[in-house]
Structure 1
């Protein structure tokens, strides 16, 4: 991977806090990856495990849509996997695992010479549907194959790509436990991305796997979507220049024990000192942002110096880059007239908005419309107060208010997934890799 360094920029929405009362400030941290590698030979080989749901529901059809590609979900996953085979090189390895109520390793770290590609293509064509959905065992079966090869080949980029259309109903099914496993795999050097197919997959389960696994979550409805996002994901894997990026914010000393730092909207990890945002892998020139909410209690007298540290996986050890930002206690008169950083405030508001909408979707999905209304009322009060000073504040408030009102009534699961996916990607600065004839803005799904 590139030896050029990551660029790190951090700034608060406001730099003054109240001496005699509590304050909440938002810290926006922006990480910019170095330029892409110029020659393919410079890129590390890819050690990829493709894990495909082969349960009975994968025989279902979702319609061809504008593409006209009306094939089963499994057939679309097979076509996408064949595309992976043809786009990998002889330096790369592929493991292929299918799962239902059992797990089958069809390929184990197969080198992709011309003969290897023929072997892989045959294995992909022979996949058949069967049984229920033991997502956990299939996923870990793929992780085992990737880990075995990784031990002997530490120079590789190690990835898992999981495709599923259902809710795990055997093995480990608790989203929090899946998140813990994903985080453990990531710390061992194996990242997980997930592709949800159709409208019946468990958002909670595969979202936790991708979010804590340092990968990406993709929502697909049509066969063509599956092929598009899988091949785009492969392209990103091959173009990785920063692997397993985390950004942490901490404040040491006595004030560090009183000030609370939390990540807004994306996976976080606490180490007892501060909070770390899990940002995953970056391709060349990619920009990722993390927003931290900082709660400062009353009574702080000295300048608060926060350490911002980015860390990512290097060839031999984790590399780091540090920066420092400050908050200054001041009298109320000075705090009230401080000029806000419009760019930082707007980014914080957008991420906050997305986080609130995702939480409201959870209440809607559970059918708890009364709690959705209470949640909406509370959040709108705080959000409106914050956004009123922003140039884009009126639009942000209007869209959030409309979304929260809609969440207090029954919604189609397809609309929930589209809106949730859009919010998820916005919080991470990721793109939707689906190629749609007439792309819709997320708020248009509120009318469905």
Structure 2
């Protein structure tokens, strides 16, 4: 392991995170932490909180955490969907993978009703497709016969598959339809559009047309960063499967998300006063214009939750209330058929008493922020493992163990027990990875865990 790199990384991580664990408690009675700020009565609710509602004069590191949740719609009839299933049938999918992909596609057909529409697309070097059809009993039989005729052949022309899926969804869309494309691939793009930037631009264009893109990677050879990017820019979900036999359950889950959609075009914005500087929004791409920072979130289904954690530096002066951030959530409410917006404001209390800072620390926000920080380390660990630097990778995971133990001293050991167990699982995974395939699987599992740690809870399968 590169000791200098590891020590510098450890120092940087602990320096960033040290604010989370406070100072020794004093014996005097102190105010309790304020409750989180919740707002929203439409398709989405927003709950925002500060890791440190009380801060000292001077420079302070504070974490802003925001949970966005889709409204529960118990017993509601699901909305009809307009789907395109795009299946990689290149030579690398031969055998078990393609057999299971066909079986999963058959299962998906069986889950659809006569008000739904489905297009089937499969690609290798070329692309073939069955245009979108209503899934009536007669058409379902036609679809099943088409699925049985999919056989492996050729290279991996992901771009052509996406373009054809896009066209098939567009042909069948209606003003109120839920439009979704599900991409399945086990490999790297080898033909057609192969550059990541060009493929990402294609997915962004598909999304701009109102079509959500989900990406499911099978096996250990696909480019997980590319597929994750597809899901992010496509406002859909990302899934990693080592075993193609799990495809049916993932297709069913994606269908359920699509058919219970409650909000789309979701954007979360932070408006920062002059005394506050944004350091980073952990695990998300952002757009910043002046004092406003905007994060694009996926489409939301009923009950889905996504979390965003931002790290800011607050310059506090004299004692009293201090604005830390305005928080706004804007989206298209699919239940109301109209745009919606929720706004709130987060304030910190500036105090000269260190004991009050510790006493009012938000335990949940501390754990959420620690998970996001640990997700950064998991990304670094995955990159090190992929490059053959196993000991360095394990070092990042051990840093996470230290982070969670410290967070547990604030929240409680029980609050981080599952997190510590997950880090142990990653270490065991790395110890047992002894060839290219098991290393690749370990890397992909780690990156999936990092997405969830950043707060992509409902959009990561």
- TM range, normalised to the smaller chain? 0.7 to 0.9
2-structure distance, mates of 1:261, 1:187: 29
Please give the per-residue CA displacement for 1:358-393, whole angstroms capped at 9, x wherever unaligned: 232123213356875886798888777666534238
Q: List alignment gaps of at least 5 residues for structure 2.
A: 1-40
Distance 1:403 1:120, change over 3 A: closer
* 1:430 aligned counterpart, secondary structure: coil
Tell me, in whole angstroms, the C-alpha distance in 2 between the residues paired with 1:271 and 1:149: 37
Is 1:170 aligned with 2:207?
no
- TM-score, scaled relative to structure 2: 0.77
Is the 8 Å Cα contact of residues 53 and 362 (structure 2) preserved in structure 1? no
Unaligned runs of 5+ in 1: 61-71, 434-448
332, 341, 344: which one pairs with 1:320? 341
CA shift at 1:159, angstroms?
0.7
* Structure 1 residue corresponding to 2:155, chosen from 120, 126, 132: 132
Match of 1:260 among 278, 283, 295: 278
For 1:304 and 1:180, how far apart are their aligned partners in 2?
38
Find 2:311's aligned residue among 293, 298, 322: 293
Tell whether 2:455 aligns with 1:422: no
Pair 1:405–1:121, CA change in 2 (3 A) = closer
- The verdict on how the C-alpha distance between 1:371 and 1:148 changes in structure 2, with shifts beyond 3 A counting, is farther
For 1:32-89, what per-residue CA distance to the aligned partner results, in whole angstroms no more than 9, with x for missing partners? Answer: 322226342xx432111111101001113xxxxxxxxxxx211211121122222212
Are 2:82 and 1:44 equivalent residues in the alignment?
A: no
For residues 149-169 of structure 1, the C-alpha deviation after alignment (integer angstroms, 9 at most, x for no partner) is 33xx12011111001111122
Q: What SS does the aligned partner of 2:384 have?
A: helix
Cα separation, 1, equivalents of 2:452 and 2:155: 30
Aligned to 1:13: 51
- 1:368-420: CA deviation from partner (whole Å, max 9, x where unpaired): 56875886798888777666534238855796599579869976222222333
| Residues 429 and 442, structure 2, Cα contact 8 Å, conserved in 1 | no
**2:167 equivalent to 1:144:** yes
Matching of residue 195 in structure 1 with residue 230 in structure 2: no
* DSSP-derived class of the 2:348 partner: strand
Measure, in 2, the Cα distance between the counterparts of 1:120 and 1:379. Answer: 48
Structure 1 vs Structure 2 CA RMSD = 3.4
Is the partner of 2:381 in helix, strand or coil? helix
Report deviation, 1:213.
1.8
Find the residue that maps to 2:48 and give its secondary structure.
Answer: strand
Q: CA deviation at 1:237?
A: 1.7
Equivalent residue, structure 2, for 1:27: 64
Distance change in 2, residues 1:317/1:169 (3 Å): farther
Distance of 2:239 and 2:211 partners within structure 1: 18
In structure 2, the CA distance between the partners of 1:398 and 1:388, relative to structure 1 (3 Å rule), is farther
The equivalent of 2:107 in structure 1 is 83
The counterpart of 1:108, out of the listed 131, 135, 138, is: 131
Partner SS, residue 216 of structure 1: strand
Under a length normalisation based on structure 1, what TM-score does the superposition of the two structures give?
0.79
Matching of residues 41-440 of structure 1 within 5 Å = 43-60=78-95, 72-104=96-128, 106-150=129-173, 153-251=174-272, 254-255=274-275, 259-260=277-278, 262-297=280-315, 303-315=322-334, 317-331=338-352, 333=354, 336-368=357-389, 372=393, 388-392=409-413, 400=423, 412-426=439-453, 427-430=455-458
CA distance in 2, matches of 1:335, 1:143: 56
Using the alignment, how far apart are the partners of 2:270 and 2:431 within structure 1?
35
Deviation digits for residues 182-205 of structure 1 (CA, Å, limit 9, x no counterpart): 344334322111111112111111
Q: How many residues align?
A: 411
**Cα distance in 2, alignment partners of residues 407 and 171 from structure 1:** 35
Greater shift, 403-412 or 355-364, is seen at 403-412
Q: State the distance in 1 between where 2:63 and 2:299 align.
A: 24
Find the aligned partners of 1:401 and 1:285 in 2 and give their Cα distance. 30
SS of 2:58 mapped into structure 1: coil
2:361 counterpart SS class: coil
Is the 1:96–1:108 Cα contact (8 Å) retained in structure 2?
yes
